[in-house]
Every structure is written in C-alpha cells, then in structure tokens.
Amino acid sequence: MNARVVVLAAGVALLAGVPLAATLAGQPYYIDLIRRVMVFAIAAASLNLILGYGGLVSFGHAAYLGVGGYAVGIFAFYGVHNGWLQWSVAIAASALVALVIGAISVRTRGIYFIMITLAFTQMLYFLAVSLEEYGGDDGMRLKVKSQFSGLIDLDNPVAFYYLVLVLLLGVVYLVHRLVNSRFGLVLRAAKSNEARSRAVGFSPYAYRLVAFVIAGAICGLAGALLANHTAYIAPAFMEWTRSGEIMFMVILGGMGTAPGPALGAFALLLVEDLLAGWTQHWQVILGPLLIMSVLFFRRGLAGLLPRGGDDG
C-alpha cells in the first residue's frame, strides 16, 4: 500500500459517503451535483485514453455524449424503455460513429486532427438540430428513464448515484488495464516516438483507431447516463464548448494519469457551480482562470497526489 493508493481509496470512500451526508444535511442537491460530475468524469476518463495516452487531441469528444444520449432518447420516444437494449445500442452506436470519424481523422496529425474532430462533432450537432421529429433545437424530454428489469430504479436518486459511481470506478479501472496492456504499450510508444515504434514494426494507425473507438464507446455510455441524469436530450449535449470542457477536465486533472480525469471533472464542475451561484457572469471569471491554469499549472491536479503506482 503506497500513499497514492491510500489517498485515492479515501477519495472513493468520500464519494460513497456523499448520499448519506447530503441526506443528513437535508441537501439532496449535492447528490445530483456529484452524480453529474461523475458522469462527466466517465467521459473525461474515456478521452484520457486517446488524449493522455495516445496523444490524439480530439476536440470532438462531446459527439459521443450526444450519440449515446440520443440512442436512449429515440428508443424512449418510440416507447422502448428497456435499459439493457438502450444502453447497448448507445455504446454500439457511439463506437460505430467513432469508427467512421476515426477512420478519416486518425490519418491526419496535429492541428488537422484537432480541427477535423471538431468539425465532425459540429456536423452531428447540426444533424441533431435538424431532426424536427426529436425536438430539433430544443431537444426532447426523457419521460421514462431506462428500465433494468426491476434490478435498479434510476428514479431513485441514491441508487442511480451508486450505479454511476460503480461505473466510474469500472471505467477508470478498464482504462488503467488497457494502457498497461500490450495494446496500451504500443499506443503510448507511438505517442512518445512514432518513428521508433514504426521501426520496431508497429503501424500506429490501427492501434490509434481502436483506442479512438473504445474511447467513443465509453463516452457513449456516459451519454446514456447523462440523458437519464438530466431526463432531457438536446443538441446541446454535443455543443463544441462541451468538448472543450471535457478536454479541460483531462488537462486540469493531469493527462495520462488514472485519477486525473475524475479530479479534473470535480475541479472544473465544482468551480463552475460555485461561480454560477455567485454571479450569472461566471464565465468572465472562469475564462481567465482556465488560461492561467494552462500557463502556470502544467502538471495537473494528479501531480499534487503523492507519487506511486505505475502511471506517470
């Protein structure tokens, strides 16, 4: 047991205690807030797989939040409330969209990659806006949340909270295992030196594309969660500022670290919540804060944790 593991375990214990504390304090709002943060932490963890370990600066990750969300919403629109089906399709559809976007964009490098992923997400955004049947610009309500054959009731805020917590831990663990597998080794090698990894016989394209698809699929799950969390699906799920926020969570928390994305999600969304409670013009403060964190705070929050573990 090293110090880092102890700190992280304490963090998880703290999260597990939130519903109890919030209920005792008579502030159920916090269950809702932290649940939302954890949904975004899942999205950020998936982006971390390609951004932090793969070096693919995707500026369009919100696309899969939208695809996952709309998968749930469209099924519910036609009266299909089976969560197993909804969520599997959300994940599969996100993976498919990621495969198409990735097949084109992973071929390109640097700034092209940033702009192309952004542009494709914008395309999906406008597609959602033009779907009049599903609410167009305004989006649509999710009248009935996903049903899991009576196993878990998402209308119960505490049960839903623990489901999101378990999924978050699962996703963080999955990403951790992935990047430490042979597959992840190739992915990280291609990030640190593409020429050398080619020289030892690996073509990075296939590895990057697979990572891109996995990241999209996980983020699709986050989209399905977000749709159930807000009970609403709108094109705003895919707004490009959303992609920027998810990216910021990864960087702020510390990219290429297992706990980083979750830490970043907490820091960003809690600061947002704090500022928004203080003034409606909170973005005028948040913007410069973000700039300063980029300029002066380069290691990310995970860099503040005690060293240990194998991610560096």
User: Site mask, other proteins, residues 96-125, x = CB under 8 A?
Assistant: --------xx-xx-xxx-xxx-xxx-xx--
Say how many C-beta atoms besides its own lie within 10 A of residue 283's C-beta: 14
Confirm or reject binding of residue 90 to other proteins (CB under 8 A).
Answer: no
Confirm or reject binding of residue 130 to other proteins (CB under 8 A).
Answer: yes
Partners of 102 in beta bridges:
none
Confirm or reject binding of residue 159 to other proteins (CB under 8 A).
Answer: no
Confirm or reject binding of residue 25 to other proteins (CB under 8 A).
Answer: no
Confirm or reject binding of residue 299 to other proteins (CB under 8 A).
Answer: no
DSSP state of 312: -
Confirm or reject binding of residue 271 to other proteins (CB under 8 A).
Answer: no
Tell me how far, at minimum, the Cβ of 148 lies from other proteins, in Å: 33
Encode 45-82 in three state secondary structure: HHHHHHHCCCCCCCCCCHHHHHHHHHHHHHHHHCCCCE
Contact range with other proteins by CB under 8 A, out of 27-35, 129-137, 148-156, 200-208:
129-137
Amino acid letter, residue 62: A
Tell me how far, at minimum, the Cβ of 248 lies from other proteins, in Å: 6
Instruction: Please tell me the distance from the alpha carbon of residue 153 to that of residue 289, in angstroms, as a whole number.
Output: 39
- Nearest residue (CB) to other proteins, 183 versus 282: 282
Tell me how far, at minimum, the Cβ of 61 lies from other proteins, in Å: 13
22, 58, 213, 257, 264 from 240: Cα distances, Å: 33, 11, 19, 24, 18
Tell me how far, at minimum, the Cβ of 244 lies from other proteins, in Å: 5
Instruction: Please tell me the distance from the alpha carbon of residue 23 to that of residue 154, in angstroms, as a whole number.
Output: 17
| Burial (CB count <10 Å: 0-12, 13-18, 19+), residue 67 | buried
Q: Are 199 and 193 in contact (CB under 8 A)?
A: no
- Nearest residue (CB) to other proteins, 111 versus 199: 111
Confirm or reject binding of residue 294 to other proteins (CB under 8 A).
Answer: yes
- Out of 12, 85, 131, 231, name the contact with other proteins by CB under 8 A: 131
Tell me how far, at minimum, the Cβ of 280 lies from other proteins, in Å: 9
Tell me how far, at minimum, the Cβ of 164 lies from other proteins, in Å: 26
Confirm or reject binding of residue 132 to other proteins (CB under 8 A).
Answer: yes
Confirm or reject binding of residue 64 to other proteins (CB under 8 A).
Answer: no
Say how many C-beta atoms besides its own lie within 10 A of residue 190's C-beta: 24
- Out of 6, 9, 10, 126, name the contact with other proteins by CB under 8 A: 126
DSSP state of 144: S
Contact range with other proteins by CB under 8 A, out of 12-20, 40-48, 65-73, 246-254:
246-254
- Nearest residue (CB) to other proteins, 89 versus 114: 114
Q: Are 251 and 267 in contact (CB under 8 A)?
A: no
Q: What is the DSSP string of 243-267?
A: HHHHHHHHHHH-TTSSSHHHHHHHH
Encode 185-225 in three state secondary structure: HHHHHHHHCHHHHHHCCCCHHHHHHHHHHHHHHHHHHHHHH
Tell me how far, at minimum, the Cβ of 218 lies from other proteins, in Å: 21
Residues that bind other proteins (CB under 8 A): 51, 57, 59, 104-105, 107-108, 110-112, 114-116, 118-120, 122-123, 126-127, 129-133, 240-241, 244, 247-248, 251, 281-284, 286-291, 294-295
